[in-house]
Amino acid sequence: MKKVKLETELTVYDALDQLPKDVIELMNKAKEARKNAYAPYSNFSVGAAIRLDNNKIVTGNNQENASYPSGLCAERTAIFAAGANFPKSKIVTMAIIAGSNEKETDSPIPPCGACRQSIAEYEVKQNAPIAIYFMGVKGKVVKSDSLANLLPLIFDRTQL
Ligand code: THU
């Protein structure tokens, strides 16, 4: 028997303006996309923006449904749109901004487990890391250099 300790690494920035211009631009696209979230049940709106290696930006937001599980998170809406429309492009960066519509969420909101699994699929497919930035509607921004840092022990195609 042996115990295994897993380590991960994230970078925390105090505010969005400390990040490079291209990341600020991408987060602002996510912010725009968040405005179109359809979240009448949770009142929690999320926007996501993806930069591809051809420099195109693809966005998404959460889309809820009266049959709750039929809705979809912003990150998957965005990444599936990227996969559907630009299947040959690599995903370089994803920016996520999330928060309640009832109060000002000021802590960084990470992608849920199902979204991490979906993002992992594309990271494995393209064999290149996807940098992920996430934040609340204001305040600190967290950067993960790769999805793998957010989801250790991923299940992927190599195990099938
Ligand atoms: N949501 C996202 O869009 N992304 C996440 O990673 C977490 C949750 C959405 C789903 C639902 O519409 C609302 O936020 C509340 O869970």
Average pLDDT over residues 34-57: 98
* Ligand 1 pocket, Cβ-based, cut-off 6 angstroms: 39, 42, 44, 46, 62, 64, 71, 73-75, 111-112, 115
pLDDT, residue 121, reads 98
Give the helix ranges, DSSP H, for the chain: 21-34, 74-85, 113-126
Distance, CA 158 to ligand 1 centroid (Å)? 28
pLDDT, residue 33, reads 98
* Annotated catalytic residue 75: yes
- Nearest-angstrom CA–CA distance, 42 and 65: 10
Nearest-CA residue for atom 13 of ligand 1: 44
Triad 31, 151, 117: Cα angle to 5°: 70
- pTM given for the model: 0.97
Choose which residue among 38, 41, 46, 70 to substitute to test ligand 1 binding: the one with the highest number of ligand atoms within 8 A of its C-beta: 46
Average pLDDT over residues 34-62: 98
Phi, psi of 39 (to 5 degrees): -135, 55
- Nearest-angstrom CA–CA distance, 27 and 17: 11
Distance, CA 119 to ligand 1 centroid (Å)? 15
What are the structural domains of the chain?
A: 11-151 (3.40.140.10)
List pLDDT tens digits, range 101-151. Answer: 999 999 999 999 999 999 999 999 999 999 999 999 999 999 999 999 999
